[in-house]
Amino acid sequence: MPDVNHDVFVCYSSADRQQVVRIAERMRRKHLRVWLDDWELKPGDSIIKKVKSGIQHSRFMLAIVSENSMKSHWVQHELSASLFVEASRGSAEVIAAIVGHVGFDDLPQELLRKHCLDMRNPSAEADSVARVVDLVRPDLRVARELKESLRKL
């Protein structure tokens, strides 16, 4: 497995940028290293090379599934690349999260077999980000639980 530079690569449609940046910032405040194109791409960068490297050097991909992303060829390309990396590593690394007016039945075929997070409202979004953090960084969950148990003493 290549060196890991990021905990989570965020795959999304640029039409959903405002909500996605809010989700990414929440993850970053929870101490996750997040790959988001707005934060990683510099003027003159090869988009294809940077995205490929971002996918390969991230532990997980958070695929934001929306009406917009399901129509995006770019999102489909990133998702296919990530599912290939997932299969070659032999572990579940693609996390799907629905936003907007997408239902679980609307998920793309390749994501139907996965447990999907629901980020369709602010409360569900906050809970789902916490679940991503717990999955990606279990050490943070253990530390939090330890602090809580010590407070009860």
Q: Answer yes or no: is pLDDT of 129 > 50.
A: yes
Task: Give the pLDDT of residue 2.
Answer: 54
Instruction: Note the pLDDT tens digit of each residue in 77-101.
Output: 888 888 887 788 766 689 999 999 9
Distance between CA atoms of 56 and 43, rounded to whole angstroms? Answer: 21
Q: Are 19 and 68 in contact (CB under 8 A)?
A: no
Torsion over CA of 24, 29, 34 and 39, rounded to 10 degrees?
A: 70
Q: Which two tokens stand for residue 71?
A: 């129509």
Task: Give the pLDDT of residue 56.
Answer: 85
- Residue 107's pLDDT band (cuts 50, 70, 90): confident
Q: Answer yes or no: is pLDDT of 1 > 60.
A: no
Distance between CA atoms of 110 and 3, rounded to whole angstroms? Answer: 26
Specify the pairing of strand 34-35 against strand 116-118: unpaired
- Residue 13's pLDDT band (cuts 50, 70, 90): very high
Distance between CA atoms of 127 and 117, rounded to whole angstroms? Answer: 9
Q: Out of 25, 78, 86, 145, pick the active-site residue.
A: 78
Classify burial at 108, counting beta carbons within 10 Å of its beta carbon; exposed 0-12, middle 13-18, buried 19 or more. middle
Classify burial at 99, counting beta carbons within 10 Å of its beta carbon; exposed 0-12, middle 13-18, buried 19 or more. buried
Percent of the chain with pLDDT over 90: 55
Instruction: Give the residue extent of every domain in the chain.
Output: 6-151
* Look-up of token digits 């003493």: 153
Q: Which two tokens stand for residue 10?
A: 């965020």
Rounded to the nearest 5 degrees, what angle is found at the Cα of 146, between the Cα atoms of 143 and 149?
155
CATH no. of 6-151: 3.40.50.10140
- pLDDT, average across residues 31-40: 95
Q: What is the mean pLDDT of the chain?
A: 89
Q: Which two tokens stand for residue 23?
A: 């989700």
Q: What is the pTM of this model?
A: 0.86
93 flagged as catalytic: no
Q: Which two tokens stand for residue 43?
A: 């003027």
Task: Give the pLDDT of residue 152.
Answer: 82
